[in-house]
Amino acid sequence: MNVTGHNRSPASIRDVAAAAGVSYQTVSRVINGHPSVKQSTRERVLAAIDELGFRRNATALALARGRSRAVTVLTANTTHYGYASILQGVEESARSAAYSVGVGVLESADPAAVTAEVQRAADAGGGLVVIAYDTAGVRALEAVPAGVPVVGIVETPASPPTDNRPWVWTDDREAAYEATRHLLSLGHETVHYVAIPSSTRRTGARTGGWRQALKEAGAAQPRPVQGSWGPAGGHAAGRKLAQDPSVTAILCGNDDLALGVLRALHEAGRSVPGEVSVAGFDDAPHSAYLTPSLTTVRLDFTGLGRAAFALLHGVLEESASIAPHPVSVPELVVRESTGRPSA
């Protein structure tokens, strides 16, 4: 599945005004049903609205009356570390700009349910931030109607997106590449991978970075073990990997998966890092306090949320153009859970 975003720039109230040959104040009066507009002018404006696809919903009304100071974050999860940290970043930045923040939870990936939730959020007015790390989020980003200001927080794109796609992301591919190179540099012949789900493509960015590092090193490329988002998925994957004595290094798609892998290795009597090195991803708060403390890749999810709001704020205030861009550089944090393989 590919994140398509918007294929065209949404029509603004000034676009409608230009097409109808009137001022944007006149368009505002038509939208608000003001009686002082001539019938012929009203009909011309309404025709331009229909032709350009300008949305006469709460968002359009708010933009016509001034500027709506509200943002809704659409997300399928509010508890996982990355999602929650993004929400924190959006809220902090919005609060400092005197914007209110609402959260629309995508409880299902069913297209009809996603579309209904997107419509409710759009009709509430203001702008949208969509966390598109899963199927529901990707579908929500695709379903946002033209004319509604939106910024998508997405996986690392497979190729540079066009300028009309208002996206932000972290470079997960480079982060996984560096983590894998670290494990290989310790002397491990190869690195096994426990993957998080990827809904935007068959091979996620983190999987791609891991595979690229192995290929460049001429190392064997084991089949990734599919995990989930939480420790239970890591535990199930870790039990499989623990049975193979050739496994000496494991990269996990997030720190919660690594937590489950560590438990499975302990139950199998395999020491970390004595027999198996384990690295995680995200640098969740608990990772520094595990025994052993977890080597991981630090991603600034809070900064990602701030960047998403900053981009949306510029669009809402008409002070910035839409420009997709990566945010921050991931940092490898080496702790106790990785080391040289035993003889």
Distance separating alpha carbons of residues 272 and 253, to the nearest angstrom: 18
Per-position pLDDT tens, the chain of length 343? 444 444 455 677 788 889 999 987 787 777 655 666 788 888 898 888 888 877 654 444 444 444 568 999 999 999 999 999 999 999 999 998 889 999 999 999 999 999 999 999 998 888 999 999 999 999 999 999 988 999 999 988 877 776 677 899 999 899 999 999 999 999 999 999 999 886 555 567 889 999 999 999 999 999 999 888 889 999 999 999 999 999 999 999 999 999 999 999 999 999 999 999 999 999 999 999 999 999 999 999 999 999 999 989 888 876 555 566 777 778 999 999 999 998 7
Q: Pick left, alpha or beta for residue 218 (phi over 0 → left; psi -120 to 50 → alpha; otherwise beta).
A: left
Are the beta carbons of 273 and 298 closer than 8 angstroms?
no
Per-residue confidence (pLDDT) for residue 251, from 0 to 100 = 98
Residue type, 205: A
- The full DSSP string for 196-210 is PP-SSSSS-HHHHHH
- The full DSSP string for 39-86 is HHHHHHHHHHHHHHT---SHHHHHHHHS---EEEEEES-SSSHHHHHH
Are the beta carbons of 245 and 259 closer than 8 angstroms?
no
Residue type, 179: A
Reduce the secondary structure of 289-339 to three states and give it as a string: HCCCCCEEEECCHHHHHHHHHHHHHHHHCCCCCCCCEECCCCEEECCCCCC
Record the pTM: 0.76
